[in-house]
Structure 1
Amino acid sequence: MSVEGRVAIVTGSGQGLGLAYAQELAAQGAAVVVNDVNQDVADAAVESIRSAGGRATAVVAPVGPTATARQLVQTAVAQFGRLDILVTNAGVLRDRSLLKMTDEDFDLVIDVHLRGTFTCVREAFGHFKGNNVAGRIIAIGSPTGQRGNFGQTNYAAAKAGIVGMVRTWALEMGRSGVCVNAVVPVAATAMTKTVPYFAAAVAADEAGEPMPDFFRKEIGFGTAADVAGLIAFLASDDAAGINGQVIGAGGDRIQVWSHPEPVLNLFHDGGWSAADLTDAKAQLLDAVQSVGEKFPALPVELQPAPAGV
């Protein structure tokens, strides 16, 4: 597997997961356009790649506007002569329960995650199609978009929307030889570091120690670097034929998420009245699906210490 000589854009790659993706692509031989809204952060990311022998440049601009998408593509072509790979990772969080969420909270998250993915993919695909490039597009999803999560109406909507767009784009882009997939990472990030359940895993990671097997194997929770290998694989020629999929990665686990399918089909002559549905309620309840992530209980030795201890 190699992306040697390819050129990639990774949005939101100044730090965290995005930086891990950019560094891995560079280590595999790709030149990378790094993106962040902070100049110092972007410069540090570029330097980390160059100091390791890779090639990188930065575009400092917020993802969402079409102008930023165009700047990213134009920079890739101007600096490195081509574009082959796009990873849409940029995102922000404004977590609040529904009644506390403002219009601004909702709009910002939708603009960066959902609109930002749309504008960047549209620009990259236009370049791919216009230049006969069998490109690779990797859009970053989330377990929240798959299952829901308390206090994340905006984020859940954006991430679920990204998956819906990926499935549509796979139909539209396949005839041009372009593969587009969604990746659902589960890793120690700024968001997960605040969740008490993951405290022991985060503490181990920050101490430079291996995370306990419970997290890596049972939960599929690991480091940003654990997800980067999947990004590099999907960006390579070896991933040809994998299109329109949602693939999870974390710790020692890889998952392929199913596309939504009916779990129950019932028929009633003449259609269904409210009374008919009441009669069928037991069957409907048997098919009701769960919502939210359900984690197993932490082993005693991994449970957070009580407050004040």
Structure 2
Amino acid sequence: MSGLCQDRVVVVTGAGRGIGRAHALAFAAEGAPVVVNDVDADTTAQVVAEIEDRGGKAAAHTGDIADWAGAEALIGTALEHFGRLDVLVNNAGFVRDRMLVNLGEDEWDAVIRVHLKGHFAPLRHAAQHWRSEAKAGRAPDARVINTSSGAGLLGSVGQGNYSAAKAGIAGLTVVAAAELARYGVTVNAIAPAARTRMTEGVFAETMARPDDGFDAMAPENVSPLVVWLGSAESAHVTGRVFEVEGGKVALAQGWRHGPAVDKKNRWEPAELGPVVAGLLERAPEPEPVYGAS
């Protein structure tokens, strides 16, 4: 390996399995000490042991990162074990898929909590640390990589709660990028597609493992971009969302100002039918929602 992240201390949430585990191993392979977070203590310990068996450095954190004190303890684990924090990878999440007419309040709350608050709380405590470092004259060269989703960018039928949470993460990313730039922190997001326990029911038809050759849905395909975004090389990139699938890396285009008509006065409701029709004619068709017929 190149040592791209040599001695850069990295925190990865939801790192016991799937994409998070792949991130933790990939960062460690590039020389980074890694805090491995997952609520499953057994899988967390396994990933820590795997990193250490390969000659790397790792520490475990098994707290709930959507809990305020748990998120604070997560950042504290990096500082306690390795003396610094350079990269936060927010990855933890799960799904509770339902059509909207069947979606329960508890299923909505749980998904919003683990994804959206589970991104905000670690980010908030990491940002507080980096701001303190900057004010003390120790300018950070820090990175945050959040995990959105194609569902958050385009929507996904049967995943209203998940889509809303992931869209919120994309919005949080651009705000954090703008606010934290003054402290030497970049904030980007990825929207990955890979085979995990969380996606098996969504991408069942496309997730068969190949008999040989390149496995386009392997979680390990997502991690190289995340590692690069966590490196010193990526200091000029912030406020961006990248889609990653197999060997494909794409820059997502978010909401942008489109066609406009300005009357320079208040519209009457009856006037707006032709106005809206004209705007729609001048605008590109929206991308289809995943799963829409």
Give your verdict on TM over 0.5. Answer: yes
Determine whether 1:163 maps to 2:163.
no
2:141 maps to 134
Report the TM-score when normalising by structure 2.
0.91
Determine whether 1:247 maps to 2:242.
yes
Provide closer, same or farther for how the CA distance between residues 178 and 57 of structure 1 changes in structure 2, counting only shifts above 3 A.
same
2:268 maps to 273
1:292 maps to 289
Corresponding residue SS for 1:194: coil
1:71 maps to 73
1:12 maps to 14
**C-alpha distance in 2 between matches for 1:232 and 1:15:** 17
Question: Does the CA contact (< 8 Å) of 1:21 and 1:231 recur in 2?
Answer: yes
Corresponding residue SS for 1:62: coil
Question: Does the CA contact (< 8 Å) of 1:166 and 1:181 recur in 2?
Answer: yes
Corresponding residue SS for 1:58: strand
Question: Does the CA contact (< 8 Å) of 1:192 and 1:198 recur in 2?
Answer: no
**C-alpha distance in 2 between matches for 1:58 and 1:202:** 32
2:226 maps to 231
Provide closer, same or farther for how the CA distance between residues 260 and 195 of structure 1 changes in structure 2, counting only shifts above 3 A.
closer
**C-alpha distance in 1 between matches for 2:264 and 2:180:** 41
Mapping 1:159-198, distance limit 5 Å: 159-195=166-202, 198=205
Does 101-110 or 189-198 show the bigger shift? 189-198
Which stretches in structure 2 are left out of the alignment for 5+ residues? none
Which stretches in structure 1 are left out of the alignment for 5+ residues? 217-221, 296-309
- How far is the alpha carbon of 1:36 from its aligned partner? 0.8
Provide closer, same or farther for how the CA distance between residues 18 and 158 of structure 1 changes in structure 2, counting only shifts above 3 A.
same
The count of residues paired between Structure 1 and Structure 2 equals 283
Mapping 1:201-220, distance limit 5 Å: 201-204=207-210, 209-211=213-215, 216=216
**C-alpha distance in 2 between matches for 1:196 and 1:76:** 35
Q: Which amino acid aligns with 1:289?
A: P
- How far is the alpha carbon of 1:83 from its aligned partner? 1.0
Question: Does the CA contact (< 8 Å) of 1:114 and 1:159 recur in 2?
Answer: yes
Question: Does the CA contact (< 8 Å) of 1:179 and 1:242 recur in 2?
Answer: yes
- How far is the alpha carbon of 1:9 from its aligned partner? 0.6
Provide closer, same or farther for how the CA distance between residues 53 and 109 of structure 1 changes in structure 2, counting only shifts above 3 A.
same
1:307 maps to none
- How far is the alpha carbon of 1:65 from its aligned partner? 0.8
2:114 maps to 112
Provide closer, same or farther for how the CA distance between residues 90 and 196 of structure 1 changes in structure 2, counting only shifts above 3 A.
closer
Question: Does the CA contact (< 8 Å) of 1:21 and 1:228 recur in 2?
Answer: yes
Corresponding residue SS for 2:209: helix
Deviations 1:244-293 (A, max 9, x none): 11111111211111231122212335332222112234324433524413
**C-alpha distance in 2 between matches for 1:58 and 1:246:** 28
Deviations 1:27-61 (A, max 9, x none): 00001111111111111111121122211111112
**C-alpha distance in 1 between matches for 2:261 and 2:287:** 20
Provide closer, same or farther for how the CA distance between residues 47 and 145 of structure 1 changes in structure 2, counting only shifts above 3 A.
same
- How far is the alpha carbon of 1:66 from its aligned partner? 1.1
Does 161-170 or 274-283 show the bigger shift? 274-283
Question: Does the CA contact (< 8 Å) of 1:188 and 1:223 recur in 2?
Answer: yes
